[in-house]
Amino acid sequence: MKLVCLGGTFDILHAGHTRLLEAALEVGESLIIGLTSDEFAASRRPTERELASYENREAELRSWFSARDALERIEIVPLVEEWGPPAGNAAIDGIVVTSETRETAERLNAHRAGKGLERLEIIEVEHLLAEDGLPVSSSHIRAGEVDAEGRRK
């Protein structure tokens, strides 16, 4: 596919994120990454939950792609609402999601159809499970239960 999108908060870049990002690189020539803005992220999580700043999260993503010589293949845009660029961009061919976000992608496709846009091909990536059997997540890591690779601490 020529242009693929994905979105997320990408707080504490971990092995689960790596799995998602690698899948996107594999299927797309170019990527648009919707990175959740600080305000949008705050509206979707408990106020006491810690979150790295947008600037830090973007820098981590850029560093990850740079280490893979793929920086020129990506565009990172602030995600300020649920759908972001794919809601109206006819050039986007696919979207990379987890089972957790597949329903959002299905609703996005219905929205696109209502605007006369082609459906996005949905590429679903399985969650990476940590050694404790739960998905590797930033909150799991912040709680000190596992490291960024999903290993018990």
Q: Which domain holds residue 92?
A: 3-142
Q: Is 151 contained in some domain?
A: no
pLDDT digits (tens, 9 = 90+) for 36-94: 999 999 888 777 778 899 999 999 999 999 999 999 999 999 999 988 999 999 999 99
Q: DSSP string covering 91-139, please? A: T--EEEEETTTHHHHHHHHHHHHHTTPPPPEEEEEPPPBPTTSSBP-HH
How far, in Å, CA of 75 to CA of 68, rounded? 15
CATH code at position 81: 3.40.50.620
Query: Could you count the other beta carbons within 10 Å of the beta carbon of residue 52?
Result: 18
Q: Looking at the domain assignment, is residue 150 inside a domain?
A: no
Residue 126 lies in a domain: yes
Element at 5 (helix H, strand E): strand 3-8
The pLDDT score that the predictor gives to residue 71 is 97
How much is the pTM? 0.92
Please tell me the total count of domains within the chain. 1
Question: Percentage of residues in the chain with pLDDT exceeding 90?
Answer: 83
Question: Can you name the residues that pair with 30 across neighbouring β-strands?
Answer: 3
Q: Could you tell me which residues are beta bridge partners of residue 34?
A: 7, 77
**Residue 147 falls within a domain, yes or no?**
no
- In-domain check, residue 15: yes
